[in-house]
Amino acid sequence: MIPRDQHVVSRKLISPNALKVISRLNSSGYDAFLVGGGVRDILLGGHPKDFDIATNAHPEQVHALFRNSRLIGRRFKLVHILFGREIIEVATFRGGAPEESKHQQQSDQGMLIRDNVYGTLEDDALRRDFTVNALYYSPRDFAVYDFLGAMDDIRKQNLRLIGAPETRYREDPVRMLRALRFKAKLGFSIEQKAEQAIRDHAELIENVAAARLFDEMVKLFVSGAGTEIFEDLVSFGLFDYLFPAVAYTLQNDQMKSFYRGFIIAGLKNTDTRVKADKPVTPAFLYAVLLWPEVERFWHQHMNEGIPEFPALQQAGQKAIQEQLAFISIPKRFSLMMKEIWEFQIRLKKTRGRSPQQLVQHKRFRAAYDFLLLRELAGQDLDGLGDWWTEFQKKHPAPPPSERHQNDPDNKPKRSRRPRNRKPRN
């Protein structure tokens, strides 16, 4: 137990909503602590992006205390408490079961497919991934609780995995991705044996559900350190299992320097935007990451005699289809990716009225950025990027109210007054 005068965590730095949750749990007779990134980032002088709470109250008991809460997860039951846009995540202390039970199950690969065995605060610390994520703060006594020497790891900027690396990665292979994310984001180094175990067992990542991988990939690429993370994913051998087709192209001597440069330029662009608090969309990054595959199929189809535009459409569809076997991509993002790719042909039309219409399209900006990246990476497009840059200077986009009628982002809001409508068939 580290008393309040020996650490920098204070209530002023914690979300008032998280404090409210802890205080309500405490006054109902439960123990409750701030844990994870919320404590870690404050100790590092940063601003936590969310606040997680650990308690000895069971999920149903937490749910019963907060009207604005919902129970989530099967594999790992949690309670989300909603305060407007802020979500406070409350997890019950986990404990390791001595034998398999219906509350804890493992797959043949040793993966935890259910983990709802509850335990004490000390048990809970041992179930977490890295020591620096297993620090607890109590606003009741203002103390930080450290069972694993994590304060020392914070000082040494050391990511130490709790327990035997191989076992912990087998239980949940996403921990390998989390290791790379924290390494890049916090500037920490991963302890040697935990690092080696990623290289030795990268293939375990194949066991993770495609939908969960999508969420994790988004966290990696919008962390503001996407470039470093990409390099690490490649060098640790994880990229081969996440984007196998792209990884293959990146090994091709003729193509690797262009595509590597292109992907890195795209990631740098995103990192810069994240650091400047500008919005980023996973669709743009996925459009960048899959472009080597799109171009490969595109050229194939054109060689088969299919005209340029349908060849590109089919290539886009095929590249997405191929990738979906590994990481899912929600429909709204794949639609956006296809538009960005198809725009690479449409942007070649620089005559007539077409350019005026194109700049007003809701996907123009992303498609134009994509075009610039291709040129930046060394593709010779006959100065097309500059042409569009100049065109926009001469023809600034009209304010949104005067935008093109066909722009779906700009449809006038439907009036609330019910209209007479023909009944639908």
User: Which position among 41, 124, 129, 153 bears the catalytic label?
Assistant: 129
Q: Does 186 bind Mg ion (CB under 5 A)?
A: no
Active site annotation includes 52: yes
Residue 288 interacts with, from ligand ATP, Mg ion, none (CB under 5-8 Å by kind): none
Region near ligand ATP per CB under 6 A, out of 21-29, 49-57, 202-210, 333-341: 49-57
The nearer residue to Mg ion, 50 or 342, going by C-beta atoms, is: 50
- Whether residue 295 contacts residue 314, with contact meaning beta carbons closer than 8 Å, is answered with no
Residue 133 partner contact from ligand ATP, Mg ion, none using kind-dependent CB cut-offs of 5 to 8 Å: ligand ATP
In the numeric block, the tokens 């998280």 are attached to: 18
- Identity of the residue, 205 or 294, whose beta carbon is nearer to ligand ATP in the bound complex: 205
Contacts (Cβ under 8 Å, ≥6 apart) of 258: 377, 378, 379
Nearer to ligand ATP by C-beta: 128 or 363?
Answer: 128
Secondary element (H or E) of residue 32: strand 32-35
Determine the residue with CB nearest ligand ATP. Answer: 37
H-assigned helices in 28-85: 37-43, 59-65
Q: Which residues of 90-128 are buried (b: 16+ CB within 10 A; e: fewer)?
A: bbbbbbebeeeeeebeeeeebbbebbbbbbebeebbbbb
Scanning 50-58, 222-230, 254-262, 335-343 for contacts with Mg ion by CB under 5 A, the matching segment is 50-58
Under the binding rule (CB under 5 A), the answer on residue 37 touching Mg ion is yes
Tell me 14's DSSP state.
S
Amino acid found at 345: I
Which partner from the list ligand ATP, Mg ion, none does 128 bind, CB cut-off 5 to 8 Å by kind? ligand ATP
3 state DSSP class of 89:
strand
Q: Which of residues 310-349 bind Mg ion (CB under 5 A)?
A: none
DSSP β-bridge partners for residue 80: 70, 89
By the rule CB under 6 A, 37 interacts with ligand ATP:
yes
Exactly one of 42, 79, 129, 289 binds ligand ATP (CB under 6 A); that residue is 129
- Most distant pair of Cα atoms in the chain: their distance: 74
Alpha helices in 157-281 (DSSP H): 165-171, 174-186, 192-201, 210-221, 226-235, 239-242, 244-250, 256-275
Judge whether 83 and 56 are in contact, CB under 8 Å.
Answer: no
Concatenating the DSSP letter of every residue in 104-150 gives EEE-TTS-EEEE--B--HHHHHHHSSBGGG-EEEETTTTEEEESSSH
Active site residue 5: no
> Applying CB under 6 A, does 184 fall inside the site for ligand ATP?
no
When asked if residue 50 is in the footprint of Mg ion (CB under 5 A), the reply is yes
Q: How far apart are CA 295 and CA 122, in angstroms?
A: 53
The single residue of 31, 50, 123, 200 carrying the catalytic annotation is: 50
301: partner contacted, choices Mg ion, ligand ATP, none (Cβ within 5-8 A by kind): none
The reply on whether position 174 binds ligand ATP by CB under 6 A is yes
Contact 133, 168 (CB under 8 A): no
Classified as helix, coil or strand, 205 is helix
What does 174 interact with, of ligand ATP, Mg ion, none (CB < 5 to 8 A by kind)?
ligand ATP
Sign of torsion, CA 323 324 325 326? Answer: positive
Cα gap 155→145, rounded to integer Å: 16
Candidates 2, 13, 30, 50; binder of ligand ATP (CB under 6 A) is: 50
Report d(CA 401, CA 343) in Å as an integer: 24
Sole window of 44-52, 228-236, 252-260, 265-273 interacting with ligand ATP (rule: CB under 6 A): 44-52
Closest CB to Mg ion belongs to which residue?
37
- Token digits for 381? 């497009």
Radius of gyration from C-alpha coordinates of the chain: 25
Q: Does 86 bind ligand ATP (CB under 6 A)?
A: no
Task: Please identify, using beta-carbon distances, which residue of 37 and 385 lies nearer to Mg ion.
Answer: 37
Q: What is the DSSP letter of 9?
A: -
Is residue 36 part of the contact set for ligand ATP (CB under 6 A)?
yes
Return the residue of 77, 128, 160, 301 that touches ligand ATP, per CB under 6 A: 128
**Under the criterion CB under 5 A, does residue 282 sit at the interface with Mg ion?**
no
Q: Is 152 a catalytic residue?
A: no
377 touches which of ligand ATP, Mg ion, none (CB within 5 to 8 A by kind)?
none
Residue 49 interacting with ligand ATP (CB under 6 A): yes
| Catalytic residue chosen out of the listed positions 52, 153, 232, 240 | 52
Residues that bind Mg ion (CB under 5 A): 36-37, 50, 52
Active site residues: 50, 52, 129
Residues that bind ligand ATP (CB under 6 A): 36-37, 49-50, 52, 128-129, 133-134, 172, 174-175
